[in-house]
Amino acid sequence: MKCPRTQYGHGFFEGCALSFETGQRDVLGRIGVFETKSGKLETPALLPVVNPLAQEIPPRVMFEKLGSKALITNAYLIRRRAGDTGVDDIHDFLDFPGIVATDSGAYQMLRYGEVEVGSAEIIDYQQSIRTDIGVILDVPTGSRASRTRAMETVNETIRRADEARKVIKNRDIAWVGPIQGGLYPDLVAYSAREMAKRGFDIYALGSPTEVMEQYLFADLVDMILAAKMNLPFSTPLHLFGAGHPFMFSLAVALGCDLFDSAAYILYARRGRYLTQAGTLHLGQMEYFPCKCDTCASTSPDKVRSLPIAERTRLLAEHNLLACFQEIETIKESIVEGRLWELVEIRCRSHPRLLEAFQRTQKHRAEVACCAPSTKRKGILFFDSTSLQRPEYVMHLERLLGDYVPPREARVLVLAPVMTHRPGDESSDILVGMTKAGKGAHVCLYSPPYGLVPSELQDTFPFSQTETLEEPDPEILKVMAKAVQSYLAKNRTYRAVVLVRSDRGWHVRYAGMCKSVCTKLRVRFSSVTDKEISSGLTGIGRKGKRYLGKNTKGKPVKRRK
Amino acid sequence: MKCPRTQYGHGFFEGCALSFETGQRDVLGRIGVFETKSGKLETPALLPVVNPLAQEIPPRVMFEKLGSKALITNAYLIRRRAGDTGVDDIHDFLDFPGIVATDSGAYQMLRYGEVEVGSAEIIDYQQSIRTDIGVILDVPTGSRASRTRAMETVNETIRRADEARKVIKNRDIAWVGPIQGGLYPDLVAYSAREMAKRGFDIYALGSPTEVMEQYLFADLVDMILAAKMNLPFSTPLHLFGAGHPFMFSLAVALGCDLFDSAAYILYARRGRYLTQAGTLHLGQMEYFPCKCDTCASTSPDKVRSLPIAERTRLLAEHNLLACFQEIETIKESIVEGRLWELVEIRCRSHPRLLEAFQRTQKHRAEVACCAPSTKRKGILFFDSTSLQRPEYVMHLERLLGDYVPPREARVLVLAPVMTHRPGDESSDILVGMTKAGKGAHVCLYSPPYGLVPSELQDTFPFSQTETLEEPDPEILKVMAKAVQSYLAKNRTYRAVVLVRSDRGWHVRYAGMCKSVCTKLRVRFSSVTDKEISSGLTGIGRKGKRYLGKNTKGKPVKRRK
């Protein structure tokens, strides 16, 4: 797989004025600035979906009061109502001084079947109303399409993209290339590769609305990564129709830069109140768990007593602010290097979201390959769900791929890190052993790390990991697995001496390492930290037992 | 253990005007109204700690702008500065029209050793300045005390409580009885029982400040429950010196009603910005992830450029609002019956908090016994951490304690719930079997429930549990354990027939149930759902094989 970090192709035309610059990164998320003819848009960004014909919140209020710098509306609906020449400038039409994106009617096609507009026509129309970001008329796959039908939508969208290239005149409009393929990740990947060849300014993953309505978040993970890994990282990725704010952070962590959402108003109309972790029903609420301008000055009781239009407007304002607040939370977490931690929290909002998060397990190598490998802050490591963290995956990859143990290493001394017992110096004593006995190689263990060469103990992420004192069984298994892979790769070790305390998980870990050694026919013994503190004799004796004359260079023969 | 729900004793004096009424409940948390002479205080409530001599945020601003209905200040410090007669009414002195609580100087004792005031003196003084909530002069245990020292602090506090009873005249002041014992839960329990006998209006758990500064949240869980379970539930429980808002929800879920905290200002002075999930450093921030009045109108950059006093005030205002917002979030989650879910989320803010949450495992029986056993909303069940949910613990207790299977039941048919395959009717067919074959008793399994008698399948919480489609290994183990305990208790079953699909966890579950049956010498067989849908023949045959004539009443002989 070609690494998508490679910058291949950007912008519809050479010398295009549109630029996308990215700054701070975490996981696959990044903070970026996308330039449009109406100004700069900082990403990740949410574009509220605005009905061009009737708005509960006037676009100017969105801009001035709610801080919405961009919105998305529907060119197809405007044209159907106002005719070809009724609108001169979409910004004036909506009374919105920010950035306007227009959709082409593809969503209407998905919902209501064929639309009465041609592919070329709608591009022309978007140019004529001076949109900032335009979408070609793609064919959405949806979530119910057969594989054959899905392939058809992919191919037809590609055909229309080629057609669009001929019609597009305005070089100051950013054109969006939609990716189709629906629930078939291989088709999404193909669609992404083909669209990428055509050099759009923004790529957008289609069809998630239906997928999200059915809470198929795990499938969405596959879809997003299939697209992301086949698109240039230098171009923004838009997620069409992203719904509830509780999934924004996951989408950003997987590489989405832009969202549009009508959730704020759709939920408001049904009396629903959005929070970062879920949805509440105004009808049953007694407290507003929010300090936004709208909520701070009123109460659920008062809002319930308002006329329905006013009530919907207030709910919509809060809902939109809740979405924007989540975007700010995500941006700050990227700055802090804590995006993964945020996703771990948000995925506890619903079991389907946790399943989606677990699905990233399947993609951990791709994600780790493209994520920043160090950060200025430590990482918080919780339980087995944290095992997919890019920093951890990278650590294992480096340990089992690149790392070469000292040439003379014959006995692997595995010693625990004693972080929680101040004054306990046994690890330091052990580290000193590397010099003392030439054949001994001291490595440390500390959840979730099964083995870290002591000479690397101060490197990231090992020394910057905060975790539970008791690893769960899954983590313990992965730790022992690391020892197994390490010993299987580095066949020069003749023996393992494990130092342990009498804590429950130390004993279990020693047992697991013993099994690993038995399997690999490496000698194993363990000593307790008490034996160590009474003069290192235990380990000295046990270590020496395995160190004969044959300690220099020559690999040790062992039965296979 | 006497159930603390029993209402034994309340109020310092008989006929006392102070009342505490509780309404909605979830886990051990509840919404209550505590009456004071200056008005009603809704709980859970946070009382900001206000330095009586110098305030960054004027108390009136707290009341009017930030919505703080109550605060706590220090009677000892006021008296030391103003003398015995300098202050007539604490409300006027602070210019605060809400409810004022006063501490007695015990915290100063903990920090700076002995204080220069007598126990009777400080009670007199609190009466003279017309406080609403007063604290007797207790002796804090702290987190470093030896067991002997801890016992001394407990006994001395009890002695002073008796002394206080003689001095207290004002019946309209709510008096707080502090619970000591520090990190020794048995001493905390003893202290709570002794103080409860003395009938205070509020009980308060002492010493957590130090415990929390060292992030010993798991020990705090033991402390809180030791106190709570030995106090009357009809009296509010205050947690002295609760710090960061990320632990409020856990404390409320364990039964705390009141908090005081100086975190808002202490953190602000060090340039720290509180969120519900952690602490950010203003120096490194680029975005405010908050829409409160203070944050919405500015940016980290602007706040950094302010003079230090102004900067601290702004941060303190935000921090206090963040604390209040968390209290509102907790209250609404009690209303929604989603307090447990909130705690699961908050405990992902730091590994030490997750450890604390796991510590509740030890206390699950006590918690389940006192928590509401049904609720109007379903429960979200994530992974093994959710196994401690009171609703789940209660379900197991009822199943393994109270439930009696149908008299004629001889074959246990264990069938999966097919929630995620619409149109699949096999469970319904199986349920019908209860009538068809008299000796067959159909039970259902669905994570996290190992076994639910089909006649109870519509009861709470079974039918209202939303969980992951794939249970984790720990949950699978607990499910099989439930089957084992059930069969061990109900020895009338001769055989188990398990229906499964070819999904991975179904196969694993069947294997585990088989082991269980082997251990208990109960016959076991499994059929696949495909066999079932081809006419129930499989199960019919297998079921019949174990149903002889001996199906009515008589227990079946089995080798032990």
Cβ contacts (< 8 Å) between A292 and chain B: which residues? 291-292, 296
DSSP B463: G
Q: Say if strands A174-179 and A202-205 run parallel, antiparallel, or are unpaired.
A: parallel
Do the beta carbons of residue A467 and residue A509 sit within 8 Å?
A: no
Nearest to A325 among B277, B291, B336 (CB): B291
A215 touches B at CB < 8 Å: no
- Rounded to a whole number of angstroms, the distance from the CA of A144 to the nearest CA of chain B is 15
Do the beta carbons of residue B175 and residue B73 sit within 8 Å?
A: no
A384 touches B at CB < 8 Å: yes
- Rounded to a whole number of angstroms, the distance from the CA of B406 to the nearest CA of chain A is 34
pTM for the complete prediction?
0.91
Q: In a mutagenesis test of the A interface, which of B216, B327, B331, B348 is the best target, namely the one with the most A β-carbons within 10 Å?
A: B348
**Exposed (0-12), middle (13-18) or buried (19+): which is A42, by Cβ within 10 Å?**
middle
Helix extents (H) in A185-287: 185-197, 208-213, 217-228, 248-253, 263-269
Q: Say if strands A70-74 and A99-103 run parallel, antiparallel, or are unpaired.
A: parallel
Which of these is catalytic: A84, A88, A95, A103?
A: A103
Q: Which residue matches tokens 């997003």?
A: A224
Question: Which of A550, A542, A541, A501 is closest to A523 using CA atoms?
Answer: A542
Contact residues, B window 286-345, toward A, CB-based 8 Å cutoff: 286-293, 296, 321, 324-325, 328-329, 331-333, 335-336, 338, 341-342, 344-345
- Whether A355 and B286 lie within 8 Å, measured CB to CB: no
- Rounded to a whole number of angstroms, the distance from the CA of A542 to the nearest CA of chain B is 36
Nearest to B293 among A278, A296, A358 (CB): A296
Mean pLDDT, chain A, whole residue set: 87
Helix axis angle, B473-489 to A473-489, nearest 10°: 130
- Whether A328 and B287 lie within 8 Å, measured CB to CB: yes
Structure tokens belonging to residue A466:
């905060």
Mean pLDDT, range A120-133, rounded to an integer = 93
- Whether A335 and B287 lie within 8 Å, measured CB to CB: yes
User: Residue A417's pLDDT is what?
Assistant: 86
**Exposed (0-12), middle (13-18) or buried (19+): which is B411, by Cβ within 10 Å?**
buried
Number of C-beta neighbours around residue B236 at 10 A: 27
User: Residue A84's pLDDT is what?
Assistant: 81
Do the beta carbons of residue B75 and residue B104 sit within 8 Å?
A: yes
Helix (H) or strand (E) holding B121: helix B119-128
Q: Which residue of B has its CA nearest to A356?
A: B468
pLDDT tens digit string along A28-77? Answer: 999 999 999 999 999 999 999 999 888 899 999 999 999 999 999 999 88
Question: Which of B421, B471, B247 is closest to B342 using CA atoms?
Answer: B247
Question: Which of B1, B21, B2 is closest to B10 using CA atoms?
Answer: B21
Q: Which amino acid is at B145?
A: A
Nearest to A351 among B278, B336, B382 (CB): B382
Structure tokens belonging to residue B77:
């410090």
Question: Which of B227, A300, B229 is closest to B239 using CA atoms?
Answer: B227
Rounded distance between C-alpha atoms, residue B35 and residue A109, angstroms? 61
Cβ contacts (< 8 Å) between A66 and chain B: which residues? none
User: Residue A429's pLDDT is what?
Assistant: 55
User: Residue B14's pLDDT is what?
Assistant: 44
- Rounded to a whole number of angstroms, the distance from the CA of A200 to the nearest CA of chain B is 30
- Whether B289 and A329 lie within 8 Å, measured CB to CB: yes
Q: Which residue matches tokens 């069984």?
A: A473
pLDDT tens digit string along B407-466? Answer: 889 999 999 986 544 444 555 555 555 445 678 899 999 999 999 998 898 888 988 899
State CA B406 to chain mean position distance. 37
User: Residue B432's pLDDT is what?
Assistant: 53
Instruction: Report DSSP letters for B266-292, one per residue.
Output: HHHHTTEEEETTEEEEGGG-S-----S
- Rounded to a whole number of angstroms, the distance from the CA of B404 to the nearest CA of chain A is 32
Do the beta carbons of residue B454 and residue B434 sit within 8 Å?
A: yes
Cβ contacts (< 8 Å) between B336 and chain A: which residues? 280, 284
> Catalytic residue numbers of B?
103
Rounded distance between C-alpha atoms, residue A99 and residue A89, angstroms? 12
Mean pLDDT, range A393-422, rounded to an integer = 85
Q: In what order do the strands lie in the sheet with B411-416?
A: B449-453, B440-446, B411-416, B495-500, B523-528
Rounded distance between C-alpha atoms, residue B164 and residue B160, angstroms? 6
User: Residue A426's pLDDT is what?
Assistant: 52
Rounded distance between C-alpha atoms, residue B316 and residue A545, angstroms? 63
**Exposed (0-12), middle (13-18) or buried (19+): which is A90, by Cβ within 10 Å?**
buried
One digit per residue, the tens of pLDDT, for chain B of length 560 reads 444 544 444 444 444 446 898 899 999 999 999 999 999 999 999 999 999 888 899 999 999 999 999 999 999 889 988 888 889 999 999 999 999 999 988 777 766 766 667 888 899 999 999 999 999 988 889 888 999 999 999 999 999 999 998 888 877 999 999 999 999 999 999 999 999 999 999 999 987 777 888 889 999 999 999 999 999 999 999 999 888 999 999 999 999 999 999 999 999 999 999 999 999 999 999 999 999 988 998 999 999 999 999 999 999 999 999 999 999 999 999 999 999 999 999 999 999 999 999 999 999 999 998 998 778 788 999 988 899 999 999 999 999 999 999 988 999 999 998 654 444 455 555 555 544 567 889 999 999 999 999 889 888 898 889 999 899 999 999 999 999 999 999 999 999 999 998 889 999 999 999 999 999 999 999 988 777 766 554 455 555 555 544 444 444 444 44
Dihedral angle of Cα B441, B446, B451, B455, to the nearest 10 degrees? -50
Cβ contacts (< 8 Å) between B280 and chain A: which residues? 332, 336
Predicted confidence band of residue A6 (pLDDT cuts 50, 70, 90): very low
pLDDT tens digit string along A499-554? Answer: 998 889 999 999 999 999 999 999 999 988 777 766 554 455 555 555 544 444 44
Do the beta carbons of residue B357 and residue B220 sit within 8 Å?
A: no
Residues forming a β-bridge with A39? A36
What is the dihedral sign for C-alpha A412, A413, A418, A419? negative
Q: Which amino acid is at B340?
A: W
Structure tokens belonging to residue A65:
């009061």
Rounded distance between C-alpha atoms, residue A504 and residue A522, angstroms? 24
Nearest to B351 among A287, A349, A380 (CB): A380
User: Residue A113's pLDDT is what?
Assistant: 67
Cβ contacts (< 8 Å) between A338 and chain B: which residues? 278
Rounded distance between C-alpha atoms, residue B253 and residue B347, angstroms? 12
Helix (H, G, I), strand (E, B) or coil at B335: helix
A103 flagged as catalytic: yes
Predicted confidence band of residue A15 (pLDDT cuts 50, 70, 90): very low
Contact pairs from chain A to chain B, CB under 8 Å = 126
Cβ contacts (< 8 Å) between B333 and chain A: which residues? 289
Residues 6+ away with beta carbon under 8 Å from B556: B410, B491, B492, B494, B550
- Whether B289 and A325 lie within 8 Å, measured CB to CB: yes
Q: The complex's ipTM? A: 0.90
- Whether B384 and A329 lie within 8 Å, measured CB to CB: no
- Whether B331 and A284 lie within 8 Å, measured CB to CB: no
- Whether B293 and A290 lie within 8 Å, measured CB to CB: no
- Rounded to a whole number of angstroms, the distance from the CA of A112 to the nearest CA of chain B is 25
Structure tokens belonging to residue B260:
């005081």
Number of C-beta neighbours around residue A300 at 10 A: 20
Cβ contacts (< 8 Å) between A467 and chain B: which residues? 351
Of the ranges A384-393, A411-420, B65-74, which one carries the lowest mean pLDDT score?
A: A411-420
Structure tokens belonging to residue A416:
């625990």
Structure tokens belonging to residue B71:
């605060």
- Whether A348 and B382 lie within 8 Å, measured CB to CB: yes
Do the beta carbons of residue B414 and residue B484 sit within 8 Å?
A: no
Nearest to B381 among A345, A351, A467 (CB): A351
Mean pLDDT, range A133-160, rounded to an integer = 93
- Whether B292 and A291 lie within 8 Å, measured CB to CB: yes
- Whether B332 and A381 lie within 8 Å, measured CB to CB: no
Rounded distance between C-alpha atoms, residue B355 and residue B344, angstroms? 11
**Exposed (0-12), middle (13-18) or buried (19+): which is B477, by Cβ within 10 Å?**
middle
